[in-house]
């Protein structure tokens, strides 16, 4: 069961702030005047992505789309190309659609109420809390995985932190701790504290400013908290990938506009490995009028991990015997020098480095 909040009669936020004042990270999205659009972009990028990975992507993004209006006016292909490498591409699509909605419905101003901002595509409770507190100074808490972990340890919460009831309890506990008018600082302090001290597997308790208050630490079980339920086995898919060159071009395919890696470009793939995968890929190529040689050179075997599945790829350089130039619209012969002009699906962008 969740422990009662009266364990901490003191406002421990002051201890957290003392630590934060000394150890606050310098990040490109932390400016003196917080732009709601830039806060929004950074929070979407940081979802399931490490800070160090996000930094260069954020800076390039803001250079390319410095304002909400410039992003709204961009094509989806440009948006996906700029996002390429960050993964979870639905984040970019949702952000793009949402800023268009802000331009249409709110005259280009990011809404400053929870109800309105959560009506935008891709914005949930956490992102709404982050934008409202950091950009607008609203007393809203932002509860993500970091915050769940911190509160689970502080209050020694034994229940699965992914349960809605537990998340709501943590939200209430956090809301009580927010000093009036300082929710933005409180949320940022928790973000840094969860990234630098109260880390997932090996928390650095000796330097923790809250260790004397932490129930999990007192009971010696901080490494076992939080509990997230049993991990599900992630399915593995095997694919045979063909790099088929004709002159200075390679054959590429645009994925459907719905589903995994929607509308992004890839090299042709056949399901399976070994003879099965080669047969499936050959059949696919025959269907579009492309004939290939039987001598295939293995370039590389590559693993790509999604949140819900794993791709195991066998990547082959395949000589082209006959290349149909009258292809369906989702297929094209892409000039090698134009590699950087299309958004690549998942691991396919890295395949270009093999050529």
Q: Each residue of 32-80: pLDDT tens digit?
A: 678 999 999 999 999 989 999 999 999 999 999 999 999 999 999 999 9
Query: Does 223 map to a domain?
Result: no
With tokens 């509308």, the residue in question is 263
Q: Each residue of 316-345: pLDDT tens digit?
A: 999 998 888 888 889 999 998 888 888 998
Cα separation, 226 vs 183, in Å, equals 24
Residues 246 and 172 placed together within one structural domain of the fold: no
Question: Which long-range CB contacts under 8 A does 5-14 form with residues at least 24 apart?
Answer: 5/155, 5/172, 5/173, 5/176, 7/155, 7/213, 7/215, 8/154, 8/213, 11/177, 11/179, 12/177, 12/210, 12/213, 13/177, 13/178, 13/179, 13/182, 13/186, 13/189, 14/179
pLDDT for the residue numbered 3: 44
Active site residue 43: yes
Query: Does 52 map to a domain?
Result: yes
Look up the CATH number of the domain holding residue 34: 1.10.340.30
CA distances, 340 to each of 68, 77, 134, 350 (Å): 24, 12, 35, 11
Residues 174 and 248 placed together within one structural domain of the fold: no
Return the structure tokens found at 187: 């949320």
pLDDT of 123 higher than 70: yes
Query: Does 161 map to a domain?
Result: yes
State mean pLDDT over 158-183.
91
Look up the CATH number of the domain holding residue 326: 3.90.79.10
Query: Does 204 map to a domain?
Result: yes
Please identify which of the residues 18, 26, 43, 297 carries the catalytic annotation. 43
Query: Does 226 map to a domain?
Result: no
Domain boundary at 217, 243, 262, which? 217
Residues 238 and 201 placed together within one structural domain of the fold: no
- CB 217, CB 205: distance < 8 Å: yes
Query: Does 321 map to a domain?
Result: yes
Q: Where are the alpha helices (DSSP H) in 48-207?
A: 51-64, 68-73, 76-83, 90-106, 114-117, 125-136, 145-154, 164-177, 183-196
pLDDT for the residue numbered 227: 82
pLDDT for the residue numbered 233: 86
Residues 201 and 244 placed together within one structural domain of the fold: no
- In terms of Cα–Cα distance, which of 32, 19, 83, 79 is closest to 53? 83
pLDDT for the residue numbered 32: 65
Residues 312 and 204 placed together within one structural domain of the fold: no
State mean pLDDT over 99-113.
97
Q: Are strands 236-246 and 310-323 parallel, antiparallel or unpaired?
A: parallel
Q: How many domains does the chain have?
A: 2
Cα separation, 139 vs 152, in Å, equals 22
Cα separation, 140 vs 138, in Å, equals 6
Distance from the first to the final alpha carbon of the chain: 57
Residues 179 and 129 placed together within one structural domain of the fold: yes
Residues 38 and 136 placed together within one structural domain of the fold: yes
| 349 — pLDDT class (breaks 50, 70, 90) | confident
Mean pLDDT of the chain: 91
pLDDT for the residue numbered 1: 40
pLDDT for the residue numbered 94: 96
pLDDT for the residue numbered 228: 79
Query: Does 181 map to a domain?
Result: yes
Its pTM stands at 0.80
Q: Each residue of 262-312: pLDDT tens digit?
A: 889 999 999 999 999 999 999 999 999 999 998 999 999 999 998 889 999
- In terms of Cα–Cα distance, which of 49, 62, 218, 210 is closest to 145? 49
Residues 117 and 150 placed together within one structural domain of the fold: yes
Burial class (CB in 10 A: 0-12, 13-18, 19+), 185: buried
Give the phi and the psi of residue 258 in degrees, each rounded to 5: -130, 150
Q: Which residues contact residue 337 at a Cβ distance below 8 angstroms, ignoring those fewer than 6 apart?
A: 248
pLDDT of 17 higher than 90: yes
Q: Range of 101's domain?
A: 10-217
Residues 98 and 200 placed together within one structural domain of the fold: yes
Residues 178 and 257 placed together within one structural domain of the fold: no
Residues 346 and 254 placed together within one structural domain of the fold: yes
Residue 333 three-state SS: strand
- Cis ω on the peptide bond leading into residue 287 (within 30° of 0)? no
pLDDT for the residue numbered 10: 62
- In terms of Cα–Cα distance, which of 254, 258, 253 is closest to 242? 253
Query: Does 228 map to a domain?
Result: no
Residues 36 and 179 placed together within one structural domain of the fold: yes
């Amino acid at each position: 069961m969740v422990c009662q909040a009266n364990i901490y009669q003191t406002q421990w936020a002051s201890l957290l702030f003392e630590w934060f004042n000394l150890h606050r990270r310098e990040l490109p999205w932390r400016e003196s005047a917080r732009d709601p659009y830039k806060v929004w972009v950074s929070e979407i990028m940081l979802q399931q992505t490490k800070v160090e990975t996000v930094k260069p992507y954020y800076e390039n993004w803001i250079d390319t789309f410095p304002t909400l209006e410039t992003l709204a006016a961009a094509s989806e292909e440009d948006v996906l190309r700029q996002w390429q490498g960050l993964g979870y591409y639905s984040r970019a699509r949702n952000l793009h659609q949402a800023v268009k909605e802000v331009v249409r419905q709110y005259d280009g101003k990011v809404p400053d109420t929870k109800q309105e901002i959560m009506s935008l595509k891709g914005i949930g409770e956490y992102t709404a809390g982050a934008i409202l507190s950091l950009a607008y100074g609203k007393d809203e808490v932002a509860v993500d995985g970091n915050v769940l972990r911190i509160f689970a340890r502080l209050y020694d919460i034994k229940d699965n932190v992914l349960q809605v009831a537990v998340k709501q309890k943590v939200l209430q506990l956090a809301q009580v701790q927010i000093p009036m008018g300082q929710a933005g600082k409180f949320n940022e302090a928790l973000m840094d504290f969860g990234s630098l001290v109260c880390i997932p597997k090996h928390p650095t308790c000796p330097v923790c400013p809250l260790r004397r208050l932490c129930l999990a630490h007192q009971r010696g079980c901080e490494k076992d908290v939080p509990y997230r339920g049993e991990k599900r086995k992630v399915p593995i898919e095997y694919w045979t990938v063909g790099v088929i060159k004709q002159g200075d071009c390679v054959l590429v395919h645009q994925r459907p506009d719905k589903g995994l890696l929607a509308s992004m470009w890839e090299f042709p793939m056949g399901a399976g490995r070994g003879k099965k995968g080669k047969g499936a890929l050959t059949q696919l190529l025959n269907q579009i009028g492309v004939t290939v040689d039987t001598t295939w050179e293995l370039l590389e075997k590559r693993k790509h991990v999604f949140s819900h599945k794993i791709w195991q790829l066998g990547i082959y350089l395949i000589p082209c015997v006959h290349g149909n130039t009258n292809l369906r619209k989702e297929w094209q012969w892409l000039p090698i020098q134009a590699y950087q002009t299309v958004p690549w699906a998942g691991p396919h962008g890295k395949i270009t480095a093999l050529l």
